[in-house]
Structure formats: structure tokens, C-alpha cells
């Protein structure tokens, strides 16, 4: 289905916003960082679909940049949250649901002996680093070069407004490179507090890379030998790949893991799950927020995790991702293009081979909007349990027409 995109309402809202908000929209959801032609404001969402401010409908393959794991507006999840909200959400202290959620996480996540709650992924990664330093009495944090762990001075991808002192005890190594990791550990010496890793390599605008089990085992070995903490930043992948934790399949247990995004199917929540060795450090530090004990989001998380644990939702989203991957590859080859599709099938990064400047990717994704498909040219995408075979097949059919559209613009396969 081809639609004629309306954007007058979107343009009006952006103009209004720019008068009262710096840049109009900030951060990773600002569409100026994607490609011209993307809608910026949205009106509603349901299942695996979103509607922009002008009423244009799309099958959504960004899932709110990760939080939507079961489907927008999931009746059971939202019902649990709304029921809790009627009793009270933010109060003078936590409700019973906080204890219930912590117990569920300890029972579900394979390394967890306790849990703490926050609101955003950056809250969780920052608190994890703080806990590691408190537990070890050391300062140095090792991170993979190019990895994203949040948007505050110690880890922001931007150095604007950030001082060198903010990064004074941050050191880097190359992901999946054991020799590089070994060298970074040696340089940190007896001041090593933690090694911090994402579930797999998902840096922006590059192919994704799954972890080498030997690399993870070496990281675990270094932490065991030195007394440092191994931290899993599972903010993006957690509760989307495996409810036990994204490294469960590798048999490597972190000391601390940070979660957010999919934990409550869109309700604002983050969590840290830690082992017994990190408990004292967690008990010593002071981290807090006025909304961190919000009960409605916790109730949503309990229901979300129960559904993920007790149904085939994760297997279904992986199957839908594989169906999309195979269909896109087939269509692309028919039109002479080669795709690079990396990462887990339910968290796909789709790039055109030889498209270093993203000229093809940008044009393709903008054209796909006109066929009711919302894709992203330089960030990994997401599938949810709400995506059904008919949705994937429609997206593949739209891709067929989209390739014809970009050919009409004079875009041809690059020489590789």
C-alpha cells in the first residue's frame, strides 16, 4: 500500500517546539539525525503499528527504540499498571509490588541475588559503575571502544560540555579482542574496578557483532583474578533475547547487570541485578530519584516478565525477525543489491553493502515510509511479539516496491 505522506501537522509542531525547546527535539529520537523526510511527532501506537501526528500509519520496526517487546498497548501489561495506579503510584515510599518485582528478578535472572530500581538505562549503568567502585574500593572502568552506555558525562558519546576529568578513570579496549582486553587490564593494574560490556556489539552505524564466548570467559577470568566486577549492560538487549540474561546462552555470569527498555513493555523503569559479592557495595552507595519507586511501572514489569517467561513471545519475535531478514535479502538480491544483516534476528541491523555514506540506506528508508513501513538506516531495529507473519510479508512486499522507487531516483547498486 502506497500512501501520500502528509506532514503539515508535523512541521507545525516542530516549529512550535523549536521556539520553546532547544532544537525542538533532543537526543536519539530527533529525526534530524536520521534522514530528511522522517516524521518527528507521533499521535498513537497499537500492537506493532504507529501513527504520526498527521495520521500516517506505519508498521513499526523500531519498537520505540526498544521498549515495545510484547506490543504497544498490551492489555495485560497496561491493565496491571492502571490497576496499580488507581491505588497509588508515587508515594512516601515503595509499595509491595517493589518486593514482588525484586523477587521475580532474582528468581528469573541467572546471576541475580538482589535488585535495585531506577527509571532509565543511564541510571542503571551509572549506578552499576558506582556500586562496582564501592565494592572494590577502586576507580578504573574498562569499556569497549565505541560502545554506548548512556548519556551522562562519564559515558556520553559526545564530548560537548564534557571535561576530560569526567573520563579520567575510563579506559578502552577493542570488543572481542582478547589481547586488547588483556592490555587494558594490565594497564589498570590494582586500580581495576570493573569491566563493562554490552550484551553484544551494537554501536551506531556499524555492523553488529555477537560476543566471542572465549572473550567473555576471559573477561570473567580477569574479574575473578583481580576482584573487579564484570558488568553486563543489558539495557538494550535485556528481556528481548533471554529472560535469564543475554549472556545465559554463553554460561558467563556477570556480577552486575543493568536493564531498562523492554523490562516493562514501555512503562518507564530500569533495574540493576547483582550477585552476593556486590551486595555490600550496593548497600553503601547513595543513589535515588523522586520517581524511582513508581509502582505502576513495577506492576507492568511484573506482568511483562511473567509473560516473557511463560509464553513463546521471545521465540516468536525471533522467528519474525528471521522471516524479515530472509525476505529482505531475497528482494534486495532480485534488485541487484547486497545487504549486510547483523546481530540477533529480533534486533536487526540492516545496511547496504558498499553504502559507506548511507546514501542508499537513507533513500530506501525514506521511500519505505511512503509504503507504510518505519525502518532505520543506521541503528539496529527491533521486532516485538506483536509482529505477525502478515505484517512481515507486507513489509517485504513494500520493500519490493521501495527498491523500484529508489531506482527511479537513479540509485543503483554500488560496486563492491
**How do residues 45-81 score in pLDDT, each as one tens digit?**
999 999 999 999 999 999 999 999 999 999 999 999 9
Task: Give the three cell numbers for residue 388.
Answer: 505477525
Half-sphere exposure of 32 (CA within 13 A, CB side): 8
Residues contacting 189, CB < 8 A, separation 6+: none
Over 70: is that where the pLDDT of 1 sits? no
Instruction: Please tell me the predicted confidence (pLDDT) of residue 37.
Output: 87
What is the CATH architecture assignment of 8-65+312-408?
Alpha-Beta Complex (3.90)
Instruction: Please tell me the predicted confidence (pLDDT) of residue 371.
Output: 97
Average pLDDT over residues 140-158: 97
Question: Buried b / exposed e across 383-401, counting CB within 10 Å, b at 16+?
Answer: bbbbbeeebbebbbebbbb
Instruction: Please tell me the predicted confidence (pLDDT) of residue 191.
Output: 98
Model confidence at 4, pLDDT cuts 50, 70, 90, reads: low
Pairwise CA distance, residues 148 & 154, whole Å: 11
The string of pLDDT tens digits covering residues 267-309 is 999 999 999 999 999 999 999 999 999 999 999 999 999 999 9
CATH ID of 75-310, from 3.40.640.10, 3.50.50.60, 1.20.1250.20, 3.40.50.2000: 3.40.640.10
Pairwise CA distance, residues 394 & 362, whole Å: 20
Average pLDDT, the chain: 96
Instruction: Please tell me the predicted confidence (pLDDT) of residue 3.
Output: 55
**Which residues sit opposite 209 in a β-bridge?**
201
Instruction: Please tell me the predicted confidence (pLDDT) of residue 33.
Output: 83
Q: Do the domains 75-310 and 8-65+312-408 match in fold?
A: no
Instruction: Please tell me the predicted confidence (pLDDT) of residue 2.
Output: 55
Which sequence spans correspond to the domains of the chain? 8-65+312-408, 75-310
Half-sphere exposure of 364 (CA within 13 A, CB side): 27
Average pLDDT over residues 358-368: 96
Instruction: Please tell me the predicted confidence (pLDDT) of residue 26.
Output: 94
Q: What angle do CA 123, 129, 132 make, to 5 degrees?
A: 135
Using alpha carbons, list the distances in angstroms from residue 398 to 54, 273, 346, 377: 21, 41, 19, 16
Amino acid at each position: 500500500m502506497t500512501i501520500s505522506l502528509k506532514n503539515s501537522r508535523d512541521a507545525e509542531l516542530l516549529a512550535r517546539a523549536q521556539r520553546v525547546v532547544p532544537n525542538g527535539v533532543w537526543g536519539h529520537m530527533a529525526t534530524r539525525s536520521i534522514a530528511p523526510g522522517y516524521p518527528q511527532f507521533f499521535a498513537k501506537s497499537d500492537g506493532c503499528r504507529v501513527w504520526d501526528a498527521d495520521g500516517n500509519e506505519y508498521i513499526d520496526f523500531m519498537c520505540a527504540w526498544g521498549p515495545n517487546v510484547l506490543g504497544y498497548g498490551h492489555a495485560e501489561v497496561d491493565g496491571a499498571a492502571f490497576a496499580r495506579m488507581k491505588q497509588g503510584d508515587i508515594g512516601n515510599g515503595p509499595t509491595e509490588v517493589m518486593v514482588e518485582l525484586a523477587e521475580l528478578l532474582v528468581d528469573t535472572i541467572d546471576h541475580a541475588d538482589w535488585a535495585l530500581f531506577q527509571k532509565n538505562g543511564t541510571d542503571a549503568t551509572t549506578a552499576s559503575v558506582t556500586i562496582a567502585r564501592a565494592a572494590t574500593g577502586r576507580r578504573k572502568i574498562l569499556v569497549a571502544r565505541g560502545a554506548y552506555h548512556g548519556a551522562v558525562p562519564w559515558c556520553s558519546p559526545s564530548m560537548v560540555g564534557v571535561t576530560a576529568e569526567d573520563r579520567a578513570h575510563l579506559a578502552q579496549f577493542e570488543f572481542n579482542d582478547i589481547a586488547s582486553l588483556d592490555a587494558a587490564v594490565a594497564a589498570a593494574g590494582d586500580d581495576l574496578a570493573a569491566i563493562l560490556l554490552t550484551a553484544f556489539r551494537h554501536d551506531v552505524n556499524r555492523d553488529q557483532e555477537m560476543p566471542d564466548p572465549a572473550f567473555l570467559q576471559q573477561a570473567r577470568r580477569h574479574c575473578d583474578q583481580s576482584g573487579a566486577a564484570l558488568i553486563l549492560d543489558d539495557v538494550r538487549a535485556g528481556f528481548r533475547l533471554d529472560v535469564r540474561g543475554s549472556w545465559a546462552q554463553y554460561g558467563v555470569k556477570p556480577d552486575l547487570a543493568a536493564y531498562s527498555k523492554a523490562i516493562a513493555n514501555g512503562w518507564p523503569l530500569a533495574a540493576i541485578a547483582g550477585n552476593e559479592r556486590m551486595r555490600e557495595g550496593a548497600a553503601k552507595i547513595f543513589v535515588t530519584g523522586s520517581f524511582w519507586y513508581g509502582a505502576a511501572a513495577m506492576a507492568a514489569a511484573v506482568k511483562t516478565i511473567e509473560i516473557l517467561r511463560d509464553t513463546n513471545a521471545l521465540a516468536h519475535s525471533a522467528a519474525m525477525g528471521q522471516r524479515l531478514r530472509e525476505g529482505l535479502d531475497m528482494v534486495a538480491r532480485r534488485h541487484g543489491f547486497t545487504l549486510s544483516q547483523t546481530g540477533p534476528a529480533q534486533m536487526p541491523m540492516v545496511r547496504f553493502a558498499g553504502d559507506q555514506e548511507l546514501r542508499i540506506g537513507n533513500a530506501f528508508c525514506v521511500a519505505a515510509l511512503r509504503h507504510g513501513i518505519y525502518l532505520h538506516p543506521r541503528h539496529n531495529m527491533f521486532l516485538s511479539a506483536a509482529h505477525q507473519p502478515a505484517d512481515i510479508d507486507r513489509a517485504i512486499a513494500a520493500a519490493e516496491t521501495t527498491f523500484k522507487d529508489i531506482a527511479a531516483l537513479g540509485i543503483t547498486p554500488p560496486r563492491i
